[in-house]
Amino acid sequence: MCSRFERKTTKDTLEVRFEVTSSSIDELPLDLSQDEIRPTDPVIIISQPHQAKILSWGLPASWDNKPLINARSETLTERKTFQPLLENRCLVPATAYFEWRKAGRNRFKNRIALENDEPFAFAGLFTETAFTIITCAPAGNIAGIHNRMPVILPKNAELAWLDPTQPFDTVAPLLTPYTESCLSAEEDIPPGTQQDLFA
């Protein structure tokens, strides 16, 4: 589950990396660099090529007080909430995401990013006002941290994911663990915390 992520980018970085027009970025009333983005926060997403916009993270759910911040890749076509959104695909720019590793009674926060710390994009689905991040099984080298990870799209697959003329069945194979390069995990262990030897 991805419940926190980071986007530390400048206007130039966002414009060049995601080929977003400068006029589109200039219209965004939001700081382009955010250390820790949380559910319901306003977030920059890319809903079509060259076009950025701001939406709230988490789809409202009538049966739950909590917004749907994640959507499991394996069941997207089965869930009535997500079925109408399968052609409403977006990119969610990020530079890292955070996950908590459980060890006995302790939980340790990990910052997970590309080894070169370059920006990347999560695969998402969106409505007029909100979006959700799609998750999948974890990449091998971070599987010990959590049993899920957000789908990080290969750079050369981003435009295909955005293309509304591509049926969902055509792009669904992109929703897999990230294998383009190794992911780097940096664990934050609070001072004085002891590891549970029997975890």
What torsion, rounded to 10 degrees, do the Cα atoms 130, 149, 154, 125 define? -20
pTM for the model stands at 0.92
Per-residue pLDDT tens over the stretch 150-166: 999 999 999 999 998 99
Task: Judge whether 196 lies within some domain.
Answer: no
**Average pLDDT value for the chain:** 91
Which domain, by its residues, includes 115? Answer: 5-186
Looking up residue 33, the CATH number of its domain turns out to be 3.90.1680.10
Per-residue pLDDT tens over the stretch 86-97: 999 999 999 999
Task: Judge whether 132 lies within some domain.
Answer: yes
What value does the mean pLDDT take over residues 8-27? 89
Of 31, 182, 36, which is closest to residue 96 (Cα–Cα)? 36
Task: Judge whether 199 lies within some domain.
Answer: no
| Helical segments of 18-157, H only | 22-26
What value does the mean pLDDT take over residues 38-42? 96
Per-residue pLDDT tens over the stretch 71-112: 999 999 999 999 999 999 999 999 999 999 998 889 999 999
Task: Judge whether 110 lies within some domain.
Answer: yes
Task: Judge whether 71 lies within some domain.
Answer: yes
- Bridge partners (DSSP) of residue 106 are 103
Task: Judge whether 191 lies within some domain.
Answer: no
Instruction: Judge whether 104 and 193 are in contact, CB under 8 Å.
Output: no
Of 9, 4, 93, 97, which is closest to residue 51 (Cα–Cα)? 93
82's tokens: 């997500």
Task: Judge whether 193 lies within some domain.
Answer: no
Could you give the number of structural domains in the chain?
A: 1
Task: Judge whether 102 lies within some domain.
Answer: yes
